[in-house]
Each structure stands twice: as structure tokens, then as C-alpha cells.
Structure 1
């Protein structure tokens, strides 16, 4: 596996790749990516390469976190083969479950080992998307990915499609084939829950209307106090822990939008009626420890170090960690023995918690996918 990277800030920062890549990741500031001049030029210059990526709430390269750039990472595999897939939300009438199935159906199943997906971050129901993909994937194929970001703005997200085109309301995926590819993954949070468990008394999919019989928005605003005026972005600092059954670990849910009209909260993933939620708050040390634990899980006892790590961390973590945000990336790099790293701050992360556990949509986690050719 050969890997090269560059950071795009302006035309003078463009650096041609000296390898012959099959895959180019592009993660960057929405307005820069929307221009699509550079992604299309790379697609033209490297016709054998599949492009994939998205707009972000911050870009990751090595042990640093950037804003207002595009991070390009080119990979030339020795034996691994890859395939691409894409689908538009409009094509399935915004049915996220069906679009997940449609996306995966484009991949030949023989030899498929792993799928990495990037999705629209605002119009998609991430829970249903993951369920749809998992429903169509062969049992032994793993899945990771993330939802695109738009800084703290929550206004529009874009996806880089395989031919370098940049699209809204789109989902793109890369399928990896070959026994020589070793994949690892881990996802951890580090947030502290507090207060009582509260019952979700009215919800539909990812829209929460009532908690304990009270309007969800009013109750949530009472928790936030003065910060309520900054919703929905201030909601990133106080996510909900959601548990929908006794035998499943709680997952974290982050607010994407609010409605003053019906007093509802819209989340990146489902909040089923009858589930229990608790408010959460951040502890910076615990967040950084969580990132380290995700890296340990991704390594999964492998004596050999990965060659490449793809990090998807939540925008909420970035807003909490502020000037020490790079510490969570540094902790991951240290555990993984300093591989090439790229990634982005997202509106949702996709991965299983551990090996042999079903894939889920997460919020407020550091989610890591590692790659090594043996």
C-alpha cells in the first residue's frame, strides 16, 4: 500500500501525486469542495481512481485538525480491488432504508470484505440508512463511515461522488475486495450521562415530540438554560444517551434541528417511542480517553500496525475540546503507531462498537477504521 497526501488551501498548494492511486479521499470545507474544480481535475488526471469524500465540520491529517481546507489522500493498493456505488436520496423518495439497500446492491458480493460509506448529513435518517445497508450486506462484510458535516452551520452538506462530481442529498460508498486487506475498527464516546432516565412518550423515527408527556423542546430548553438561545448548535454540547432495550448498549443521539411550531427535536438517528433517554455532558479527559479506547479496539490485538487510519469524529467533540482537539487525534496516532491518518469531523459516525457486534449510527464518538495489506 502506497499513500500520499496534500492539504489544499489555494491553487498554490496543489501537489500532484507520484503514485498511481485506485482511491482518493477528499474531506474538506463545504464551500471549497462545492467548487468541484479540483475533484474533477483529479478524476481526469487519475482515471483509474475512485474519488470519495464529503464536506466536514473540520478536517484531519496526521495528528493535526484543520478548518477551511481540503485534505486529499491517495492510496495505491498492491492486491486489493475496489468498487464504487452512489445513490441519491430523491431517487428513493427520501426512504433512507431503501437507499441503503439500493447502494449495497450495486456491489458484486463475491470477495467483498468491507464497505466505507459517506452520506448526506442533514436529510438522511442515519439509523435507517445503516439498517438498509446491513440488511443487504453479506454477513461477514463489515461497514464503517460517517455523515457529512457543515461546520457548526447545519445548513447544507455535500458528497464527493466517484467521478469527482460534488452532489447534495447523496450517498456514496467504496467496497473493498481481497483477502490481503486487514480491516480494524473501533468507536467510543467518553461522555458522562446525568440525571434521571426519562421515557420517550411520543416520537416518529428521528423526530422526538414528547418526553415524560412534556413537549421535548420545552423540556430540553429547561436543561440548557441560557444556552437554549443558541440551539440547535448548542445541543451538540448536551447530547442524549438513548436506550431502547435492556440487552443493547445505549447509543448517543445529537440534535440536528428544532421546531418551535410543534416543539420537536430532530436527531441524526432514531429515538424510538418507549425508549429511555438521559442528558449527557462532556468531560475533556474522558473524551480523549474515549478516542484512545477506540484506537485500542481498532487494533484488536493485532501485532502489526495499520498502514492507514480513517478517523470520523463528531463535531460536538470538536466544539467541546476546542484548542485541545488535536489531543484526541494524537492519542489515536500514538496507539496505532503513527500510520498515515485522514478523516473528518462529522454529523454522525457509522461503525460497530466492537468486532462481531452489529453496526450502528453513533453521535459524539471517535470512530476509527484501520487498513493494512498483508
Structure 2
């Protein structure tokens, strides 16, 4: 595997960091950037000129990761030449699918093959129900196939997210990249580091990812009570207080981020489903635990590949970025400290992270985590 990286900034345009001369031979390019920049099709045209024969995956972000640097309003580009691993891609428009679950099934079925090793998914972060998408993918694929990726971001605007495969990115798209062959090893790790507080409550009224009532009371009014003065800043302030959800009393909790509120309906829309009967609990930030969790995720991603990673894709949550603020690069530095200086790092801040839970291969949607995928090609 050969890797080269570039960064686009308004001041300097394109600048290379680690040019390995793979331009003509790259078969996969990842380009993560802000909506304002990636919405200009000239950027895609420039990337295509750099890498004429590669599959190019573009997605908008709530912040870009390149090396140990976290940036806004840039493009973080990573070009990869796999030497023996083969690729197959699929791009779907959610408007042409029955629903997010069926879109996931279609994606998984299209990529399924005897030598499939891994699927990387990048999806629209607002028009797609991420948890239903992931359930559909999991139904189509055996649990021996790992699936990772994320939901595209739009800073903290929550207006529109863009994804594109081999074309300038637009909204409403879901892209899957299948990686095939015996020479590729994949690792993955995901950790949060948030502290639960307040009582556990039961979801008593919900529809898919829209929450109406907890313990028979208005969920929105309860939530506002906990937020205090920050309630006036909803939905953005909701990123600071995610929900931990257990679908059954015995299941492991996953974290769900607030995306929108509807004052008229007294409802809250989250990045994943909250089924009736589920147990939820509010969470709040613990700075040191958030940063330590990134190191734990990196260690988990290395356990599964048995040696140093050549490439790591980091998908972290916009909520973590807002909370950590000036300390945000510390979580990426913690990852590099674990992976080592030889690992090329890229990634983005997202509206949702896709990865198996650490103790199994079943794919899940997460929020407010640092999720890492590591790659090593023999």
C-alpha cells in the first residue's frame, strides 16, 4: 500500500504532505472537506486531474483531520494505491430507495462476495436514518465482514451534507466501498468517554428516531430542564448532552446525538432510533475521559491487525469537537501516540460514526465517539 496526502486551503490551494508519486496509480482517494469548499465542483475537477484512474470519495465534514492537525474550511485528501487489494463501489440516492433500511440492504448485497474483507460507508448525515442504514447493511452481510465509516457533517449548521463517488458531491447520497482480498487486514475501535448523569428513563413515545415522551412526560421539556440556560441554544447545545440508550436492560449502551427539535410537536430528532421501551440516560462531557477514550479506540484498532497500521481513518463526532474546543487536537495526538509516527492519519468530524462494537462484528451506529479504522496490506 502506498499513500500520499494533500491539503487544500483557501490561502495556499493544494499542498502535498508526503508525496509518494502515486498519482497515476492511485485506486482510491478520500477527500474530506467543508461544505462551502466541496460544493464548488472545481475542487472535484482538480482532484480528478491529480488522480485520473482512482475512485474518488468526497464527503463534507464538521472538521477535517490530516496527520495530527484538525482544521476547518479545508480539504484533507488521502490517495491510496492498494497493491493487491481490489475495490468495488456502490452509490445510492436515498430518494430512490424505499427507506434507509432497504438502502443498507441494497448496499450490502451489491458488495457481498466470498473474498469481501471490509466495507467502508459514507452517507448523507441528515436525510438518511443512520441506525436503519446500518441495520440494513448488517442484515445483508455476514458478521465476519467488518463495516465502518460515518455520516457526513456540516460544521454545526445541520443544514445540508454532501457525499459523492466519482463525481462532485451532492446531498442525499450513500456510498459503499468494498475491499477484497486476503492481503488486507482491517482493525477497528470505538470509544466515547462521556459520563452519565441523572436517572435512567423509559422511552414511552417515539417514532423511529423521533422522541416525544420519557416516563410519560414531554422529553423536550425534561431535556430543557437539564440544559438550563443552554436550552435557548438548541439544537446545537444538545451536542453537549447526548443520550445513552439501551434497547433492552441487558444490552450495551450506545450514544445518540440530538439533530433537531420541533417546538410545535414537542419532539426531538436524534441521529439514530430510540424505540419505545428503551432505557435512556443523559450524558455530559468529562474532558480527560474524552481524550483518553481516543487512545483506547486506537489500541482497540491495533489489536485486530496484529502489527503497525499503514493507514488510519478517524471518524469523530462534531459534539466532541464542540466540547473539546481548543483541546481538540489532543484526541488526535493521543491516537498518533498509540499508532506511531509511521501511520498515515486522515478523517473527519461527523454526524454519526459507523463501527462494530468493540466485542463483536455486528455493525452499529454511534454518536459522540472516536471511531478508528486501521488498514494494513501485506
User: TM-score, normalising length from structure 2?
Assistant: 0.95
The alpha-carbon deviation at position 284 of structure 1 amounts to 0.4
1:272 is paired with a residue of what secondary structure?
A: coil
- Please give the secondary structure, in 2, of the residue aligned with 1:196: coil
* Superposition deviation, residue 41 in structure 1: 3.4
C-alpha distance in 2 between matches for 1:314 and 1:103: 24
Query: Contact 2:294–2:370 at 8 Å: present in 1 too?
Result: yes
Q: Deviations 1:144-186 (Å, cap 9, x if unpaired)?
A: 010010001101100022x132121111111101110010000
Quick check: 1:112–1:178 contact (8 Å CA) kept in 2? Answer: yes
* 1:120 and 1:158 in contact (8 A); partners too: yes
Q: Provide the C-alpha distance between the structure 2 equivalents of 1:64 and 1:241, rounded to a whole number of angstroms.
A: 29
RMSD of the TM alignment (CA)? 1.4
Question: In the alignment, is residue 64 of structure 1 matched against residue 69 of structure 2?
Answer: yes
**Corresponding residue for 1:91?**
96
* Conservation of the 8 A alpha-carbon contact between 2:293 and 2:370: yes
Task: Quote the residue 2:322 is aligned against.
Answer: 319
Aligned residue for 1:168, secondary structure, equals coil
Question: Hey, what does 1:168 align to over in structure 2?
Answer: 171
Task: Count how many residue pairs are aligned between Structure 1 and Structure 2.
Answer: 372
Deviation at residue 43 of structure 1 after TM alignment: 2.6
How does 1:158-307 map onto structure 2 within 5 Å?
A: 158-161=162-165, 163-300=166-303, 302-307=305-310
Range that drifts further, 212-221 or 317-326: 212-221
2:346 to 324, 342, 345: 342
Q: In structure 2, what is the Cα distance between the partners aligned to 1:310 and 1:140? A: 20
Cα deviation, residue 191, structure 1:
0.0
Is contact 1:187–1:354 with CA below 8 Å preserved after alignment? yes
TM-score where L is the length of structure 1: 0.96
Which residue of structure 1 lines up, in the alignment, with residue 28 of structure 2?
23
1:142 to 140, 146, 155: 146
Deviations along 1:33-85, whole A, 9 cap, x unmatched?
01122223323553321111310000001111000101110001111111111
SS for the counterpart of 1:166 is: coil
2:6 touches 2:76 (CA, 8 Å); kept in 1?
yes
Q: CA deviation at 1:356?
A: 2.8
Separation in 2 of the partners of 1:107 and 1:42?
25
2:336 aligns with: 333
Picking from 72, 76, 85, the partner of 2:81 is 76
Residue 124 of structure 1 deviates from its aligned partner by 1.0
Query: What secondary structure is seen at the aligned counterpart in 2 of 1:101?
Result: helix
Correspondence 1:8 to 2:11: no
Residue 302 of structure 1: CA displacement?
A: 4.8
Are the equivalent residues in 2 in contact too, given 1:52–1:173 (CA < 8 A)?
Answer: no
Query: Where does the alignment leave 5 or more consecutive residues of structure 2 unmatched?
Result: none
The equivalent position to 2:136 in structure 1, one of 132, 154, 160, is 132
